[in-house]
Structure 1
Amino acid sequence: MDPKTVVAVIRGEEDLQRVVSAAAGVAGIDKGHIIGIHSEPSPAAYVPAIGMEGIPYDTGIAEANRKRMADLGERFNKACEGELVSCEWRGFESFSGDSAISSITSAFSADIVVVQQADPDNSASGEINLEALIFETGRPVLMIPYTWSAPLKMGRIIIAWNGKKEAARAAFDALPFLKKASSVEILLIDPQENDEHSATMAGAEIAVSLERHGIRAEVVNQPSGGIPVGEAIENRISETGADMLVMGAYSRSRVSEMLFGGVTRTMLNSMMVPVMMSR
Structure 2
Amino acid sequence: MTYKTILSVMESPDQAGGFLDYAVQLVRMFDAHLVGLHAETVSATPIVAPMEIPDPVSIQALQDVAEKRSAELAEIFRNRCDREGISYEWRKIATSVGFAGSAVVDSARTADLIIAPQASPDAPGDARADFESFLFESGRPVLLVPHVARAAKSFDKVLIAWNGSREAARATFDAMPFLKRANEVEIFSVNPRDTGDQTSDMSSAEIAATLSRHGINVTAVNAHADKAKAATLIENRMSDSSIDLLVMGAYTHSRLWELLFGGVTRTLLESMTAVTLMSR
Going from structure 1 to structure 2, the CA distance change for 1:100 and 1:52 (only over 3 Å counts) comes to closer
Structure (1 or 2) with the greater helix fraction = 2
Code of the residue aligned with 2:251 in structure 1: it is Y
2:226 & 2:51 partners in 1: Cα distance?
A: 62
* Structure 2 partner of 1:129: 130
Going from structure 1 to structure 2, the CA distance change for 1:13 and 1:167 (only over 3 Å counts) comes to same
* Structure 1 partner of 2:208: 207
1:45 & 1:188 partners in 2: Cα distance?
A: 50
- Over the matched positions of the two proteins, sequence identity in percent amounts to 38
1:260 pairs, out of 252, 257, 260, with 257
Asked whether the equivalents of residues 134 and 278 of structure 1 are also in contact (C-alpha less than 8 Å), the reply is no
* Structure 2 partner of 1:35: 35
2:40 & 2:187 partners in 1: Cα distance?
A: 40
* Structure 2 partner of 1:5: 5
Structure 1 segments unaligned to the other structure (5+ residues):
none
* Structure 1 partner of 2:53: 54
1:52 & 1:80 partners in 2: Cα distance?
A: 49
* Structure 2 partner of 1:277: 278
Code of the residue aligned with 1:20 in structure 2: it is L
Code of the residue aligned with 1:12 in structure 2: it is S
Structure 2 segments unaligned to the other structure (5+ residues):
none
2:21 & 2:100 partners in 1: Cα distance?
A: 18
* Structure 1 partner of 2:156: 155
* Structure 2 partner of 1:187: 188
RMSD between superposed Cα atoms in Å: 2.6
Asked whether the equivalents of residues 7 and 112 of structure 1 are also in contact (C-alpha less than 8 Å), the reply is yes
1:129 & 1:16 partners in 2: Cα distance?
A: 23
Residues 104-183 of structure 1 correspond to what in structure 2 (within 5 A)? 104-120=105-121, 127=128, 129-183=130-184
Aligned length: 272
Q: TM-score, normalised by structure 1?
A: 0.87
* Structure 1 partner of 2:234: 233
Going from structure 1 to structure 2, the CA distance change for 1:251 and 1:136 (only over 3 Å counts) comes to closer
1:100 & 1:248 partners in 2: Cα distance?
A: 24
Asked whether the equivalents of residues 160 and 188 of structure 2 are also in contact (C-alpha less than 8 Å), the reply is yes
Shift of 1:235: 1.3
Code of the residue aligned with 1:15 in structure 2: it is Q
2:216 & 2:22 partners in 1: Cα distance?
A: 23
Q: TM-score, normalised by structure 2?
A: 0.87
2:84 & 2:102 partners in 1: Cα distance?
A: 26
Shift of 1:71: 2.6
Code of the residue aligned with 1:260 in structure 2: it is W
Asked whether the equivalents of residues 2 and 29 of structure 1 are also in contact (C-alpha less than 8 Å), the reply is no
Asked whether the equivalents of residues 100 and 128 of structure 1 are also in contact (C-alpha less than 8 Å), the reply is no
Asked whether the equivalents of residues 40 and 69 of structure 1 are also in contact (C-alpha less than 8 Å), the reply is yes
1:247 & 1:11 partners in 2: Cα distance?
A: 23
